[in-house]
Chains A and B, each alone.
Chain A
Amino acid sequence: MKKVINNAEQVVEEMLQGLVLAHPQYVKRVEGFDVLVRANSPVQGKVGLVSGGGSGHEPSHGGYVGRGMLDGAVAGAVFTSPTPDQVYEAVKAVDGGKGVLLVIKNYTGDIMNFEMAAEMADADGVKVAKVVVNDDVAVENSTWTTGRRGIAGTVFVHKIAGAKAEQGADLAEVQKTAEKVIANVRSMGMALSPCTVPAAGKPSFTLAENEVEIGMGIHGEPGTHRESIRTADETAAHLLNKILGDIALNAGDEVAVMVNGLGGTPLMELYVVNRKVAALLAEKNIKIAKTYVGNYMTSLEMAGFSITVLKLDSELKELLFAPADTPALVQF
């Protein structure tokens, strides 16, 4: 597998160095840790937002550190949750006296590591709250699962809870807003081709030439089923219908849409998907208040995409449209 890397063991370290060199006005490194925080951290009198997870999902999460979104991002090894000591350092570095909200994607490892970090911070007297994002409708919640996975909808949590914190809300209020986003956001993805974890050196699964995986997770973990590739319109309709089957939307409701590339899909194809998503929502008289098309939550070089729909109310809409100034998302 060809990759533009120097050494598989150094990928995360070298990426973080490059990111800080590219965006010194936004982020700085917490010395000795795989943690990026705002250049002006800690922001006094503001609730801090910390997210993170395995690397390989860039620009998540380091790309969203900046005004209006995150205060800190913790980078684990590729597709591997960061360790508790790393998360704990991020919490300490961003705490401006009003407490810290941890935004966790729903994976067993992430939850355990972030919980251990929260226990450490608690022992230090830092107020910590947490929310768990579980927007992926591909895998139904049942007794057979540990719940749904957290995928691209997490970016909406960063955006909206980040804006809430920027307004000066307290920790409980920011947590409540984040939970409202989580309750109203749904996503589903699919993959055309696998990705290769640098340290593994080979793909974690294979797909036949004409085959796609529907419901693919963002770590190459299998989805609901495999099928022969269909048109962009048919695939987009399938994913969107699964999403709409899971959240109550009525004619006249307003939503935000994200068509997210998994890393190896041209923007051209993402726009083709977005065309169909917009048309299907228009048919149902659902109003799209804002659309994001691009690579927001990737899976290394995997080809494929996910669709995210966030149902808006007046609070969520206002916060979604609030300014953000980060390496990967700038809004005025």
Chain B
Amino acid sequence: MANGIAAMEALADVIIANKEKLTELDAAIGDADHGINMTRGFEAVRTKLAAAKPEDIGGLLKLVGMTLISTVGGASGPLYGTAFMRAAVVAHGKTAIDTDTAAQILNAAIGGIKDRGKAVRGEKTMLDALEPAYEAFTQAMAKGASLTDCLTLATAAAASGVEYTKTIIATKGRASYLGERSIGHQDPGATSSYLMLATLTAFAKEQEA
């Protein structure tokens, strides 16, 4: 379980390191708080992880989800919080992640975001990074790719998804009030989703090496 905790700490590090970047992206089309709120949440996650002894990955993800729900606020808190809580359900009792479990976790997280945000792909949200990532992951998995290869392809798809958000009009969240003026800006939520996926991918590669 030390690996799982280290992976969540790596997530916290990348969000905190990108606090200003995420806030600037949000300032362009939203209310300039995404990096600030996510940093507050992941600093709390880091504090909780230092004291926590989760017995399985489900317990670990639940701890992260509960912490984000009670500290982030805004829209990202309920969305990421629900994503981690749903992922916790499918990871219950697991102490290691294989390709199949990773796919289930990603799928459950996406389902949580869709239910809570009442959003679908193409509305300039985190789903525009995560859904293509899940598709790339499962396509690679079907061809028998390794976990790190699946993750690498998923991360590349998420990166393309972030680029795609520059070309579309926001229809969810505060950015939607901008209408066509939101075109040209990448979505901060899609960006933070990409950053987390990229970090988990790098972490998995380090473990394999």
Residues of A with Cβ closer than 8 Å to B?
54, 76-85, 107-109, 112-113, 116, 139, 143-146, 149, 197, 199-200, 204-205, 217, 219-222
- Which chain A positions have C-beta within 8 A of B70? 83-85
* Contact of A205 with B73 in the complex, beta carbons under 8 Å: no
Instruction: Choose among A84, A197, A199, A204 the residue that contacts B69 (Cβ–Cβ < 8 A).
Output: A84
* Contact of A205 with B27 in the complex, beta carbons under 8 Å: yes
Name the interface size band of chain B.
20 to 34
Q: How many angstroms between the C-alpha atoms of A180 and B10 in the bound complex? A: 50
Residues of B with Cβ closer than 8 Å to A?
23, 27, 30-33, 36-37, 40, 69-79, 116-117, 169, 171-174, 176-179, 181
* Contact of A77 with B176 in the complex, beta carbons under 8 Å: no
Return B34 CB to nearest CB of chain A, in Å: 10
Q: How many angstroms between the C-alpha atoms of A322 and B77 in the bound complex? A: 38
User: Across the A-B interface, how many residue pairs have beta carbons closer than 8 Å?
Assistant: 101
Return A151 CB to nearest CB of chain B, in Å: 12
Q: How many angstroms between the C-alpha atoms of A241 and B71 in the bound complex? A: 41
Known: A204-B27, A217-B177. A144 touches B36 (CB 8 A): no
* Contact of B179 with A204 in the complex, beta carbons under 8 Å: no
* Contact of A113 with B174 in the complex, beta carbons under 8 Å: no
- Known contacts A77-B40, A116-B69; 8 additional CB pairs below 8 A are A77-B36, A77-B37, A79-B32, A107-B75, A108-B75, A109-B75, A144-B171, A145-B176
Instruction: Choose among B33, B73, B169, B173 the residue that contacts A113 (Cβ–Cβ < 8 A).
Output: B73
* Contact of A112 with B75 in the complex, beta carbons under 8 Å: yes
Return A55 CB to nearest CB of chain B, in Å: 10
Of residues B37, B74, B116, B179, which shows the largest number of chain A Cβ atoms within 10 Å of its Cβ? Answer: B74
Q: Give 17 CB contacts A-B under 8 Å.
A: A54-B73, A77-B33, A81-B75, A81-B77, A83-B71, A109-B76, A112-B117, A144-B169, A144-B176, A145-B171, A145-B176, A145-B177, A149-B177, A197-B36, A217-B174, A217-B177, A219-B31
